[in-house]
Amino acid sequence: MPSGRKLVIVESPAKARTIAGYLGDDFTVEASVGHIRDLPQPSELPVDMKKGPFGKFAVDVDNGFEPYYVVDADKKKKVTELKRALKEADELYLATDEDREGEAIAWHLLAELKPKVPVKRMVFHEITREAITRALQATREIDDRLVDAQETRRILDRLYGYEVSPVLWRKVRQGLSAGRVQSVATRMVVERERERMAFRTAEYWDVTGSFGHPSPASEAHEGRFDAKLVQLGGRRVATGRDFDDQGRLKSGGKDVVHVGEDVATAVAAGLQDAAFSVLSLETKPYTRKPAAPFTTSTLQQEASRKLRMGSRQTMRTAQGLYENGYITYMRTDSPVLSSQAIDAARRQAAELYGPEFVPDKARVYASKNKGAQEAHEAIRPAGDHFRTPAQVAKELSGDQFRLYELIWKRTVASQMADARGSTASVRVAADVPASPALAESGAQGDTQAVFAASGTVITFRGFLAAYEEGRDVDRYAEEGGARKGDRETRLPQMAEGDDLDARDLAAAGHSTSPPPRYTEASLVKALEERGIGRPSTYAATISVIQDRGYVTARGQALVPSWLAFAVVRLLEENFDRLVDYDFTAAMEQDLDAIAAGQKDRVAWLTQFYFGDAARGPDAEGLRDLVANLGDIDAREVNSIPVGDGITLRVGRYGPYLEGPGEDGGEPRRASVPEDLAPDELTADKAREILEAQPDGDIVLGEDPGTGHTVVAKKGRFGPYVTELLPEPDLDPDLSAAARKKALAALPKPRTASLLKSMQLETVTLDDALRLLALPRVVGTDPESGDEITAQNGRYGPYLKKGTDSRSLPSEEAIFEITLEEALAIYAQPKRGRGASAAAPLRELGEDPASKKPVVVKDGRFGPYVTDGETNATLRKDDAVESITLDRAAELLAEKRARGPVKRKRATTRKTPAKKTTKK
């Protein structure tokens, strides 16, 4: 019977503990630990459903895209606990986050728990006593529109991944995945690398000098300033911004002069004794406003810039701060602050910095993103009164303290006054005497050279006293592209026409820089600007493309792999619409429209998957797009021309170079070093790598036991190591037959193939000696007295005891397995000829072609899938635990297409029949 208790369910245990401290004894607070239900893998469906409409996606696409949900295996115990707690309650509060994901969690809880007591949806944006109290008094119903939007997104991602990913498996590599946002993010990183690969450097020069009054009239006139040549002969001097990525002047270089080394040197030399004067002087007020409070996106960007924290690390840290009541909800697109937060920020700014640092009117911010979801306010310190970093220093440490301090500073600064000051810009000019170098640049006679400088003086720091926003890498930073206000520079007092002297005039050369690679911060910013995905998912997206091997981090920069090049090329050439930036952003807007009740979920999914024939071929759905691919040339997709006839190929075991062989022979091949970025692989570098690849024997050293030289070689069946035995000392008078017999009696050199984990160019003498020492004696079977050895064979590593062989799990086990472990393997029943059939490792379901059950079995040469008629060995990247029915069906189809293996039969010469004479 209900006991008058109220059950509150939140997502996380940490959140539950914090909230429980604010509620009375009448409340029980439990955590669902995230989602309790999800779409299962099709292979995990009940047997009777695998043949039905849910069999392919766990979604019935023909009947309103109905999803089939199951309770996650690791959540069954949790659901049982929640049901038990619900039996003792007379009210249920679903207090998950107030976003699409949180609304969906609440909806799934309601569907699975089936409560018979009143249910209330409780929402809050911060975990403080005041916020929890307000939330209890303002409950609502579950918002079905938010649930529809989340469910649409989940089904969309399932359809996208399950239709497109198998194409990548077949044509690029096993284990790859495609996704609505991850594939577009990967494409952006690859496109930036392509720009860097196509980039051509341009050289340009300028002249700098130090200027000042030769005889200052007062202290205000004292001091010197640095200025740079900006104009020559009436034309502006080109800087890096004036060149395109091919090293050419933009717009044909009209009204711009490209200064080379000769001209710059001539100008610097010609101005050594020149009379400089102030050509113009302009002074204007300087004002700078504070940045808006943090959203999810800007928090990830700023934490990356200032704290060197990745997106995943930032969100994990922010989650902990939120759940423990230090900040408001960390997934938001809105920079808006509540009235209580504005009052708290203004009050704290006045207390810490003075009332003059707070403007008369509160600042109000609005989102610049059209598709922003503004259910929550900005990320800020929790509560109606903010705790300063000093007040939480004893409670927080490490990343949590640093992130809290960043959020606190940004929030307080957002309600502070503008920074104010003045900016002065000066131009200084002198005539350069005529010279041959200047004449070549088009100058006639003496040429006027104009130098420029600017300085900013901050007279009132305003919000800068608390916080200054960081900025991304600027490829033109060396040209003074730093934002005004980042540093304070003063110019001495001067007036137009004043004479100045110049010192330290010098010519300096520069090179244009390629577009900078994305960092996590700049990629998040670019995704948000294009309207792709949601800021709350960016951390997960960046993690996925790194985990899949598409992108690696080099310092802060994101470097795409050659695998990413192959994947992006396949998607661009065959699924161009799915990786189109505008199309992906439009899908996000449509999901927002579903959340707002402006679009129907089923109608939208129908159009996406089945298409709209009435709108023509451009409205082709995902189903037909995948079905009408035709033949994709896998070799072509995985090939990238480097130059000079050299091609980079993305192989099963990694990228390698293939170049023409000598005299038209076999192509030369070499692996690409893992630390070589794509834009660093030039034709010259590729040729260098190929030439470094050994063609002949590689001498590794001398075997200390025998004194024989050990070498590594390339063989017909792969690389191997062997020893060079001394030339035999045979009697030169021996007959050919006797010589042959004598040679046959000589000892043979020891030889061993390299392990799969070894490479010819990196194998060491120690590696070789270990291989040549095989087979390794593990020990003696105490029962039979037979010796057990570990060795490497044609079909992999194995144990041998007399005539009984058993496979080993890995090559390393050859050198590490103990006698006890070997005896344990032999104690297992042998699976082979004459033994009873072993039970299948897994049952996957019905093969769509043969209509027979498909299972995974363990065979002599490793695990394989079979439908009882056709067997297909699992590939290197296929794991028994995770292989799906779709992948198994693909392997079986490929095996059937190849047909039976044709074995050559030994032929015997037949004696022709004797002809009989006609009587």
Respond yes or no: is residue 609 known to be catalytic. no
Query: How far apart, in whole angstroms, are the C-alpha atoms of residue 700 and residue 706?
Result: 14
Q: Give ∠ CA 9-131-99 in degrees, rounded to 5.
A: 55
Radius of gyration over alpha carbons of the chain, in Å?
37
**Residue among 502, 509, 429, 445 nearest 269 (CA):** 502
What is the largest distance, in Å, between two alpha-carbon atoms of the chain?
143
Residue type, 183: S
Residue 294, Cβ density class (10 Å: 0-12 exposed, 13-18 middle, ≥19 buried)? buried
Give me the helix-helix angle, 398-413 and 339-353, nearest 10°. 90
CB 164 within 8 A of CB 178: yes
Using DSSP's 3-state secondary structure scheme, residue 534 falls into coil
Peptide bond preceding 2 in cis form (omega within 30 of 0): no
Pairing of strands 70-71, 276-288: unpaired
Residue type, 682: T
Query: How far apart, in whole angstroms, are the C-alpha atoms of residue 15 and residue 31?
Result: 8
CB 428 within 8 A of CB 278: yes
Query: How far apart, in whole angstroms, are the C-alpha atoms of residue 612 and residue 392?
Result: 57
Place of tokens 């480097």: 642
Query: How far apart, in whole angstroms, are the C-alpha atoms of residue 408 and residue 624?
Result: 52
> Would you give the end-to-end CA distance of the chain in angstroms?
115
List phi, psi (to 5°) of 70.
-135, 155
Catalytically annotated residue among 329, 518, 609, 864: 329
CB 745 within 8 A of CB 759: no
Cite the beta strand spans of 416-537 per DSSP E. Answer: 419-432, 447-460, 499-511
Query: How far apart, in whole angstroms, are the C-alpha atoms of residue 16 and residue 18?
Result: 6
Query: How far apart, in whole angstroms, are the C-alpha atoms of residue 697 and residue 709?
Result: 11
Place of tokens 């010796």: 787
Contacts of 437 (CB under 8 A, 6+ apart): 262, 263, 265, 266
Residues with catalytic annotation?
329
